[in-house]
Amino acid sequence: MKKELPKVYEPQEVESRVYEMWEKNGCFKGHRDPDKKPFTIVMPPPNVTGQLHMGHAMDSTLQDILIRFKRMQGYAALWVPGTDHAGIATQIKVEEELRKNEGLSRYDLGREKFLERVWDWKNKYGNRIVEQQKKLGASCDWDRARFTMDEGLSKAVRHVFVSLYKKGLIYKGSRIINWCPNCVTALSDAEVEYQDKPGSFWHIRYPIQGEEGRYVIVATTRPETMLGDTGVAVNPNDERYKDIVGKKCILPLVGREMPIVADEYVDMEFGTGCVKMTPAHDPNDFEVGLRQNLETIRVLDDNGKVVEGYGRYSGMDRYEARKAIVHDLEEGGWLVKVEPHQHNVGTCYRCHSDVEPLISAQWFVKMEPLAKEALRVVNDGEVKFVPDRFSKTYTNWMENVHDWCISRQLWWGHQIPAWTCQECGHITVSEEDPTECEHCHSKNIKQEEDVLDTWFSSALWPFSTLGWPDENSEDFKYFFPTDVLVTGYDIIFFWVARMIFSACEHTGKPPFHTVFIHGLVRDDKGRKMSKSLGNGIDPLEMANQYGADALRFNLVTGNSPGNDMRFYTERCEAMRNFANKIWNASRFLMMNLTIEECRLPEHLEMEDKWILSKLNSVIPEVTENMEKFELGVAAQKVYDFIWDSYCDWYIELTKARLQGEDEEAKRNAQQVLCYVLTETLKLLHPFMPYITEEIWQALPHQGDYLMLQQWPEYHAELSFPQEEKAMELIMDAIRAVRTRRAEMNVPPSKKAHLTVATQEQAVFEAGIPFLKRLASASEVEVVPAAEARQEAGQVVIATHVAQISIPLGELVDLEKEKARVQKELDKNRKMLSGLEGKLQNPGFVSKAPANVVEAERERAEKLRALIEKLEEQLQSM
């Protein structure tokens, strides 16, 4: 039953009501249907600490467009939402609140009580970002929402850990890892961001033992770590140092005797060719230390402070210790020189403080065996990246991947399911909590304190959310593998790669067939949005001000796969105007609507066939763009069709019939207007779901919801190329006449006689009613092209198939217009004369910059063209 639309579109009133209707009536549910092909998307789970930002809005909008499109195409569409426990971020957040409100640390509470507090925080605030996503129209199956620490997902995590451990792909060992002294936890390679920072090279003398006055000179960018030096290395082919290999040197400030060793790692051309070895604090030194049997001494603790046993340096922060050590080296005569040095410094992706490489006992995943299949599925095209260039980013990383450090020194997260026997030292790894050591059966066993890297659980997301490891899960059997992953290029290493190798290893299948990569949303100056710059734009504020549909359309029309986009608030305003245009056009139709059913009539006029043919052309184009993930291109085509073809032209072309006395003609126009609008609303729905659903509900329709209607399809019987071409010829003529009248400032109310000389006489005869009404013609005469002539007192307008003549006197006061044109002609002749004098002046041409001279010449050419045009205009008068 049709209803009236309010005069003004109020998105704030419509959006919450429409969303509630969809959700209440189960429109978002993903149902298993043996007669339908599934289409599954899993949402990249935002952190429970998260506040919706523009990147989330972009990611959510693109996924929602795809899932709505596929749902309308008839797939059993499922979009699985969820949130990530965000180990480091959440623990820091709760610890800050504890410290601020109660003056307590997590250690004051103990592990169990602290975790209770974190769960309380999660239950109170963790759903905030979900509610924000709903405001943007996210059509997820919220009943299937998952959390990475849900019981089922936690079971999957344990299952995977135990499986990889038993295969020898997880091990515990002391290796150099990335350590954040601020977050006090290990980080994986992917969690380290590198920044170019200014630093120094300190050149230091290390005395050779037993050879008075002889030194080797080493250079370092981190003098604070020299306290842990256990050797000096030179290249075995370096003639300068062959005689000292095997001897010992003395570590300044500490007095430690250290061997001088020969190793191919050393670059003879770099620095002095002598390299200090700190195996506990540098990954390359660690490898050399293993080969050369060097001692490993760790001198920085977990907080980045010098450990006990180093005199006044003990307890100093690493940078405080650096200053003190450099001072003492200088005082002792060991410092040779200091050189400025720009170098890449690893920083923590979370807090951005400098990462410290140090040796630590951690848990690792062996990556080389897992990377092979993950590379194969991409190289063989089983998993495609859109755009394809990101497949190279992925393969380059996977081909050079290091073992993944998966342990984190946190309490919030999945505690590592490994128990060490306090009697025999054996490690028991089990999916269920053991009661005794599996080796010696002692009851004295202790579980690992550390938790797993957050990305360990999210790597399982595409299948753990669907019921795996229960392979009899109906959801897993029907909806897995999923279809498309939508994500930003910044987490290809963090997440995409890990999901691919995890799914291949544990399910035997890739987790999805397509990775749709989008860029970052930047501010209008092209800068990354950040708190420090204060240039972030709240998507909810934009949605509240302009409507969620306007925000979504802004985000998608500015988007091309893989590329960053600039966000302009003004474009939100433009998209709100677009929403208003659709609303007003729909209201106009509703006000003229007397039909109860929306279907095409048997008799179609030329303008009806034109709009139907245009629609029939745009449907397959938009569909193809959607299938290729060219969502911005698809959105623009729908926009152009609605604004230009439907609103600006077709509605105007049908007004005479709608307002006429012929009831059949009136009804036929309504039917076509209604049909085209309905089909167009379907095309627009994935992009602007709220306004399209609200308008569709007001139109005559079958079915309950637009979002569950069938996606429009091409119909051969609705293609009318001949009529489409004919109508375009008439429209070209109307545009040309309107443009010329506007140039001459002629008001639309002033009508004039048109003579159209053309070879397409039949077309223009049929178009006379449109020319009279839309080109402000009092009469229209169509004559053969051979009769075209240009007479004095005529305005002549040409299109590629017609010459249109209008008596000038019917448009303007001839004498006044001649005077106006003469005045303009005189003004431009004077300007040209001055400019030509300037260009003929050798002083100007030789002394002025070449680009200035060229610009003046171009200006003169434009003036000559304008003068010629004005002279012709005056002559024709």
Task: Tell me, rounded to whole angstroms, the distance of Cα 564 from its chain centroid.
Answer: 7
pLDDT tens digits along 687-734: 999 999 999 999 998 999 999 999 999 999 999 999 999 999 999 999
Domain 815-876 fold is Helix Hairpins (1.10.287)
Residue 413: pLDDT above 90? yes
CATH code 3.30.2320 for 736-812: yes
SS3 (DSSP) at 720: coil
795: confidence class by pLDDT, cuts 50, 70, 90: confident
Q: Could you tell me which residues are beta bridge partners of residue 420?
A: 427, 446
Predicted confidence at residue 87, as pLDDT, reads 87
- 1-21 pLDDT, tens per residue? 456 799 999 999 999 999 999
Mean pLDDT of 401-428: 93
Domain with CATH 1.10.730.10 in the chain: 567-719
Identify the three-state secondary structure at position 32: coil
- Looking at residue 169, its pLDDT comes to 97
Point out the least confidently predicted range of 155-164, 182-191, 308-317, 504-513: 182-191
Q: Is the pLDDT of residue 638 over 50?
A: yes
DSSP string, 56-70: HHHHHHHHHHHHHHH
Determine the average pLDDT of the residues in 793-814. 81
337-359 mean pLDDT: 87
**pLDDT at residue 737 is higher than 50:** yes
Note whether 428 and 434 are within 8 A (CB).
Answer: yes
Region 432-456 average pLDDT: 94
At residue 506, does pLDDT exceed 90? yes
Q: Sheet harboring 802-807: ordered strands across? A: 777-784, 752-758, 802-807, 794-798
* Residue 419 CA neighbour count, 13 Å, CB half: 20
Mean pLDDT computed over 640-667: 95
- For residue range 68-127, what is the model confidence (pLDDT) as tens digits? 999 999 999 999 999 999 888 899 889 889 989 999 989 999 999 999 999 999 998 888
Give the whole-angstrom CA distance, residue 249 versus residue 247: 7
Please identify which residue in the block is written with the tokens 């450990």.
Answer: 307
817 token code pair? 């217009």
Listed in order, the ranges of the chain carrying CATH 3.90.740.10 are: 185-357
pLDDT at 876: 66
- d(CA 559, CA 578) in angstroms, rounded, equals 18
820 has a pLDDT exceeding 80: no
Binding residues for ATP: 531
C-beta of residue 462 within 8 angstroms of C-beta of residue 512:
yes
Q: Mean pLDDT throughout 383-404? A: 93
Model pTM? 0.84
Domain 567-719 superfamily per CATH: Isoleucyl-tRNA Synthetase; Domain 1 (1.10.730.10)
Give the helix/strand (H/E) hosting 293: none
Q: CA–CA distance from 742 to each of 644, 746, 775, 795 (Å)?
A: 19, 6, 11, 13
Measure the CA–CA gap between 58 and 552, rounded to whole angstroms: 8
Predicted confidence band of residue 877 (pLDDT cuts 50, 70, 90):
low
Average pLDDT over residues 296-306: 94
Architecture of domain 33-80+126-169+366-409+452-518: 3-Layer(aba) Sandwich (3.40)
Rg of the chain on CA atoms, in Å: 37
Tokens, residue 840: 């003929």
CA 137 – CA 20 distance, rounded (Å): 10
Query: Cα 397 to the chain's mean position, in Å?
Result: 20
Q: Identify the top-confidence range among 106-120, 187-201, 335-349.
A: 106-120
CATH topology of domain 185-357: Isoleucyl-tRNA Synthetase; domain 2 (3.90.740)
Domain with CATH 1.10.287 in the chain: 815-876
pLDDT digits (tens, 9 = 90+) for 525-552: 888 887 777 888 899 999 999 999 999 9
Which pLDDT score, from 0 to 100, does residue 1 have?
43
Q: pLDDT category, 49, cuts 50, 70, 90?
A: confident
Q: Give dist(CA 260, CA 243) in Å, integer.
A: 10
Phi, psi of 657 (to 5 degrees): -70, -40
Specify binding-site residues.
Answer: 531
Maximum Cα interatomic distance, the chain, rounded to a whole number of Å: 117
- Please give the average per-residue pLDDT across 56-65, as a whole number: 95
Q: What stretch(es) of the chain map to CATH 3.40.50.620?
A: 33-80+126-169+366-409+452-518
Percent of the chain with pLDDT over 90: 70
